[in-house]
Structure 1
Amino acid sequence: MVRSMMSHSDLLISFWGHALETAAFTLNRVPSKSFQKTPHKMWTGKHPSMSFMKIWGCKAYVKHQMSTKLEPKSHKCTFVGYPKVTKGYYFYNHKENKVFVARTGVFLERDFLSSKDDRRNIELEEVQQQQDTEPEVERFSQTVEENSTDLETRPLRRSTRECHEPERYGFLVTTHGDVILVDHDEPKTYQEAVSSPDSEKWLEAMRSEMDSMSDNQVWTLVEPPEGIKPIGCKWVFKKKTDMDGNVQTYKGRLVAKGYRQIHGIDYDETFSPVAMFKSIRILLAIAAFHDYEIWQMDVKTAFLNGKLEEDVYMTQPEGFVTPENAGKVCKLQRSIYGLKQASRSWNLRFNDAIKEFGFIRNEDEPCVYKKFSGSIERFRRSSIYFRSEDL
């Protein structure tokens, strides 16, 4: 299947990996002689959708961000596969010699099927085993013995460079046991936080984070299920300063180690829309032209509002494990920072909540919502959702 795909395209032989992944992606969504159900259906319990699939190796026009108004709005690229954890397609840009991900494109499938100019044939030569291999083995053995003899008699070389500490370590201020603390720096671990001079402030920040977890009912403590390995978690510490550089608040955030999650088991879809800069500029221009009021709101612990559909188990946070619950794990009921599906869960929860107030999602910009009020359907209010980290 891979050989057939490669022979019907003009791509280099180095793209065999993308062809192999696409072949496996396709075979997992079609039935076989052994089973009437597809592997995707047997693994996830859901019927796979085939409407988005395209012909591998066909040309496609993909939009890109223009630096000048006179440049073309799209590049002619080649479709080379499907991403694993997000919706979209892999495209290869011949001019820039890079592979990138894009959600949409104009695929030239009919031109690809009718044209034969871009295709090429791959001839596979069968590798014949050498009949007389003993002389080669003997010569190789002699070479290894000679090299090993030279290594035994050759004296070892030692580096003559002087080792010294880098200059950036000149501002170390104190040492508590085995933990080295740096002035005006955030601790990297829980042990550094409790050993630092600001340990009380860091502990207060961690207690505040745990109170937020408890108020939002983020998890429940359960016995570890058999065969399930929970993901880990860690504390992330940050000092928030004002415009003059003075520390205002100490922030301790509990983050899950989402890189230990397994696709198809404790997460599935991870895609969530992100607001475009031009959408924000358009809304600001409309508000400035009509002299509207602009309200900016922030949702505290936003990700904790997302509801999880998968069963995700996490170890208990360091420093907050009680003796009676030492052997239990956290079964997450809501999303938490660090999970692969955290952004998607929060976006789905926000979409459901904002629609209850009568807002309508924009079809072309999924992060913009509008609401009409008044007898003449005059546009009065609009809301746009975006995360500060996206900016």
Structure 2
Amino acid sequence: MVQGLPNLQEHEKVCSGCAVSKNNRSSFDKEGAWRASQPLELIHSDICGPMQTITLGGNRYFLTFIDDHTRMCWVFFLQHKSQAFNIFKRFKSMVELQSGHQIKKLRSDRGGEYTSLDFSKFCEEMGLERQLTVGYSPQQNGVAERKNRTVMEMARAMMHEKKIPLKFWAEAVNTAVYLQNRSPTSALDNSTPFEKFSGRKPGVKHLRIFGSLCYIHIPTQKRHKLEDTGEKGVFVGYGVCEKGYRVLNLRTQKIELSRSVIFDEEAMWNWETSEALQIPMSWGDGASSTVSDLDSEPNLLQQQIVQYPMETQTSSDVHATHDSAPLEPYDHTPKKWKNLSEVYAQCKMSIIEPENFEEAVKDEAWGKAMTEEILMIEKNSTWELVDRPSSKPIVGVKWIFKIKLNLDGSIQKHKARLVAKGYTQKPGIDFNETFAPVARLDTIRTLIALAAQKGWKLWQLDVKSAFLNGVLEEEVYVDQPDGFVVKGDEDKVYRLRKALYGLKQAPRAWYSEIDTYLSQCGFHKSPSEATLYVRTKECVGTLIVSIYVDDIVYTGSSDEMMKEFKAEMMCKYEMSDLGLLHHFLGMGVTQTEGSIFIHQKKYALTLLDKFGLKDCKSVSTPLVATDKLKREDGSDAADENLFRKIVGSLLYLTATRPDIMFSACLLARFMHNPSKMHYGAAKRVLRYIQGTIDYGIEYVTGKSALLVGYCDSDWSGSEEDMKSTSGYAFSFGSGAFSWASVKQHSVALSTAEAEYVSAAEATSQAIWLRFVLEDFGEEQTTATTVFCDNTSAIAMAKNPVFHQRSKHIKRKFHFIRDAIQEEVIELLYCKGEEQIADIFTKALPKDRFDYLRRMLGVKSASTLEGSVKM
């Protein structure tokens, strides 16, 4: 290889410098995984918890044992981790007696509950081999870790489907394990753990949808002859030692065990209003049948009296009332046929997205999704197969898998996305410009408000694989994707003609593509909003289009122009016609004849569930008017990461909830080192959300498209630095569509100065909104009225003679005088009690807060005309 070096004999010697400086973590070899050859030869175990919500039995943890050979799982619930040792002794005696085998090995992590002196001594006396994981290596206990994750996902999905309170999580976990033990698994060649362990196939005729409304029989011994023979309940699981259903009696609020139960699986219990809700089961309606006359038969999910035949349960934590009457056989004839994979999916109620190609390729649905993605790439002529260049870097690719859901939580589609590993790209070599604009929420809300005012309908299109349409200017090469390597050309790579998701320049390339095309179609791009396009035809009408990456919202006065636009887009790109706008950027949009209502109910519910406050007691205001938050309040430190998550989520919720704008912005000032008092204030806002879960903004038809604004300030509202808070809101006279709550950057020396600065900030927003409305075709021909409740600030804006008290104010705020002189805005006085922007500057008492909330157009969906259904 080189000249001048003698021949040296190779010595295998450890280099200490390399061992210290280049030491990497060893990989976990899947191919060498050992499997037990008989039941109980190896038991995997792990503890999950603590849960934020305590169960009815006072438990916060659950402990699982999984048999490696049969994959049978047992679950137990604990109040404390220290109970694990006693539970293991009970478990060992039970399964060894039932199976005739003995536990030989126990695999677990190094948690104190497994490594205690008593636990270790017991295992030593019993001759049990312990297999403990290495520190920080949960992969070595992968079977138990994965089982706990699957159980939790399934339990969450079941509870979410029927809106079950979190305090019943143990019932959901117990049921999840029960169902998984009776569900086929690829680890056992599509056999069930129950069959593998017991030697007989499990019966599943008795299975019912968790959380369904049901009616339990009242024995004659517990009632008079004229009394009702049944009571309402909620199905929460299956019996452990007894053959029966576990049902929560809604009258006594106790869990009872009954074998005679009438199920209404299409209904669920509304825990807030204490009434039944009828929910159509969409997955059953769409099932195909191989017999033509079966569709005329009664629905399988109608009320049925069930006599419960079942096997012995393998889970615990049961407290029930017993009904020991003998069981009767039940003939359960199916009324419809369903695809087996769909049945498995509905039984498990668990949506698991593959983490890599190896997991995805085992599922036909994901394989089909990957094929569709490759076909889309090739249809767009995104790449060409070439020899590997010697002087160019090759960008890797990977598969990303995502399940898209409908608003009701059902599966819309399996989406596989091939993405480039853009983090390996180097600026100036693989990419140059990366910036791509997206629509502002203010713009979207303004468009919705204008459409409501005009009585227009909003429509939505979705560009399939939008980034694949962006033409690249740079020379970029990528590897062939897993599963789609061309035989005989394994060493070749793809040169990209167009962008792939994940590339640094992909958003920029797509924006350039769609911008060029819309310009060619006669659209005028707004100079004030780069994602807003308008096309006008004389004597025909106006068409307005807003772009947010691959989501396109459009509206206008001409049905002909909208149909023409949709046809053009469908011809140019692969599109999904989503019809009327109903869901956009996390906002729900409900369009009726006289109004448009926007809300974030689904996100709010997710938020409460995420932070363990789904069943909390609500409050009437987001903040207590008399409480003042300080950076140093003397209370203990709170979890900074959790606090930031809550505040970030609340800020996202302000997209349709201006009533919490001040609260969220105030809490955002304490992101660093928050205290327990700050955390308590954040939880209070969530409790307020609980009581206003279906609130949103209503924009009504028929109001004048005349822009009106309000501005206000809270002088020296921040006690630490004595800075003021500005707030403003704009509307067409109904619901507000633009608002802000901002802490001023400088200290104001008077209320007049604070109000003057607030008015200047509102003027800046008003000017921008006038530009946007002009692009919409709604030019404001008169000055925009902005109401202020401080006469000194108004005088200062109109008359520069107040030199002594205003000479120190920064020049940038004085542009309000020019705006007034040029009749762009008109600053008018309003009484303090009529100042709508007051809600953005301080915490308010209940009556005042409720009044201003109504003035902003924020209301419950249930109060709308026609009772909007969300």
**TM class by smaller structure:** 0.5 to 0.7
Question: Which stretch has the larger CA shift, 164-173 or 207-216?
Answer: 164-173
Structure 1 residue 187 and structure 2 residue 354: aligned?
Answer: yes
Shift of 1:228: 2.2
Partner SS, residue 443 of structure 2 = helix
Amino acid in the other structure paired with 2:443:
S
* Residues 246/286 of structure 1: CA separation in 2 closer, same or farther (3 Å cut): closer
Partner SS, residue 149 of structure 2 = helix
Query: Cα deviation per residue 1:103-155 (whole Å; 9 max; x = unaligned)?
Result: xxxxxxxxxxxxxxxxxxxxxxxxxxxxxxxxxxxxxxxxxxxxxxxxxxxxx
Question: Structure 2 matches for 1:171-210, cutoff 5 A?
Answer: 171=151, 174=185, 176=187, 183-195=350-362, 199-210=363-374
Give the counterpart of 1:300 among 455, 464, 470: 464
Q: Is the 8 A contact 1:274 1:390 kept in 2?
A: no
Amino acid in the other structure paired with 2:418:
L
Q: Distance in 2 between matches of 1:171 and 1:283?
A: 44
Report what 1:52 is aligned to: none
Structure 1 residue 367 and structure 2 residue 531: aligned?
Answer: yes
Report what 2:682 is aligned to: none
Q: Distance in 2 between matches of 1:362 and 1:218?
A: 30
Amino acid in the other structure paired with 1:213:
I
* Residues 390/255 of structure 1: CA separation in 2 closer, same or farther (3 Å cut): farther
Q: Distance in 2 between matches of 1:286 and 1:334?
A: 37
Q: Distance in 2 between matches of 1:243 and 1:274?
A: 24
Report what 2:248 is aligned to: none
Shift of 1:294: 2.3
Q: Distance in 1 between matches of 2:455 and 2:111?
A: 71
Q: Is the 8 A contact 1:273 1:366 kept in 2?
A: yes
Amino acid in the other structure paired with 2:356:
T
Shift of 1:379: 6.1
Q: Which of 1 and 2 has higher RCO (CA within 8 Å, sep 6+)?
A: 1
Query: Cα deviation per residue 1:67-110 (whole Å; 9 max; x = unaligned)?
Result: xxxxxxxxxxxxxxxxxxxxxxxxxxxxxxxxxxxxxxxxxxxx
Report what 2:232 is aligned to: none
Q: Is the 8 A contact 1:302 1:346 kept in 2?
A: yes
Shift of 1:390: 6.2
Shift of 1:175: 6.4
Report what 2:434 is aligned to: 270
Give the counterpart of 1:233 among 382, 390, 397: 397
Partner SS, residue 273 of structure 1 = coil
Report what 2:411 is aligned to: 247
* Residues 385/288 of structure 1: CA separation in 2 closer, same or farther (3 Å cut): same
Listed as ranges, the gaps of 5+ residues in structure 2 are 1-109, 115-140, 153-179, 189-347, 552-583, 587-870
Shift of 1:184: 2.5
Report what 1:121 is aligned to: none
Give the counterpart of 1:310 among 435, 452, 474: 474
Query: Cα deviation per residue 1:224-255 (whole Å; 9 max; x = unaligned)?
Result: 11132311111111222334433232111111
Give the counterpart of 2:488 among 301, 313, 324: 324
Q: Is the 8 A contact 1:267 1:340 kept in 2?
A: yes
Between structure 1 and structure 2, the one with the greater Rg is 2
Query: Cα deviation per residue 1:177-199 (whole Å; 9 max; x = unaligned)?
Result: 9xxxx95211010001123xxx1
Query: Cα deviation per residue 1:211-235 (whole Å; 9 max; x = unaligned)?
Result: 1011001110111111323111111
* Residues 269/390 of structure 1: CA separation in 2 closer, same or farther (3 Å cut): farther
Amino acid in the other structure paired with 2:525:
R
* Residues 313/240 of structure 1: CA separation in 2 closer, same or farther (3 Å cut): same
* Residues 246/295 of structure 1: CA separation in 2 closer, same or farther (3 Å cut): closer
Report what 1:358 is aligned to: 522
Q: Distance in 1 between matches of 2:533 and 2:112?
A: 63
Q: Distance in 1 between matches of 2:406 and 2:111?
A: 48
* Residues 291/225 of structure 1: CA separation in 2 closer, same or farther (3 Å cut): same
Shift of 1:320: 0.5
Question: Structure 2 matches for 1:326-345, cutoff 5 A?
Answer: 326-345=490-509
Shift of 1:299: 1.1
Report what 2:546 is aligned to: 384
Query: Cα deviation per residue 1:323-378 (whole Å; 9 max; x = unaligned)?
Result: 21101001011011111111000000010000111111111111111122115xx9
Q: Distance in 2 between matches of 1:318 and 1:368?
A: 39
Shift of 1:271: 0.4
Shift of 1:176: 4.4
Aligned-residue Cα RMSD (Å) equals 2.6
Q: Distance in 1 between matches of 2:523 and 2:408?
A: 40
Structure 1 residue 284 and structure 2 residue 451: aligned?
Answer: no
Query: Cα deviation per residue 1:23-57 (whole Å; 9 max; x = unaligned)?
Result: xxxxxxxxxxxxxxxxxxxxxxxxxxxxxxxxxxx
Q: Distance in 1 between matches of 2:457 and 2:429?
A: 46
Listed as ranges, the gaps of 5+ residues in structure 1 are 1-158
Q: Is the 8 A contact 1:235 1:253 kept in 2?
A: yes
Q: Distance in 2 between matches of 1:211 and 1:239?
A: 19
Question: Which stretch has the larger CA shift, 326-335 or 278-287?
Answer: 278-287
Report what 1:27 is aligned to: none
Structure 1 residue 161 and structure 2 residue 112: aligned?
Answer: yes
TM-score by length of 2: 0.25
Report what 2:689 is aligned to: none
TM-score by length of 1: 0.53
Report what 2:760 is aligned to: none
Shift of 1:204: 0.8
Query: Cα deviation per residue 1:288-312 (whole Å; 9 max; x = unaligned)?
Result: 1112232211111111110000011
Partner SS, residue 475 of structure 2 = strand
Q: Distance in 2 between matches of 1:386 and 1:160?
A: 48
Question: Structure 2 matches for 1:31-70, cutoff 5 A?
Answer: none
Partner SS, residue 311 of structure 1 = coil
Report what 2:573 is aligned to: none
Q: Distance in 1 between matches of 2:454 and 2:461?
A: 21
Q: Distance in 1 between matches of 2:441 and 2:468?
A: 26
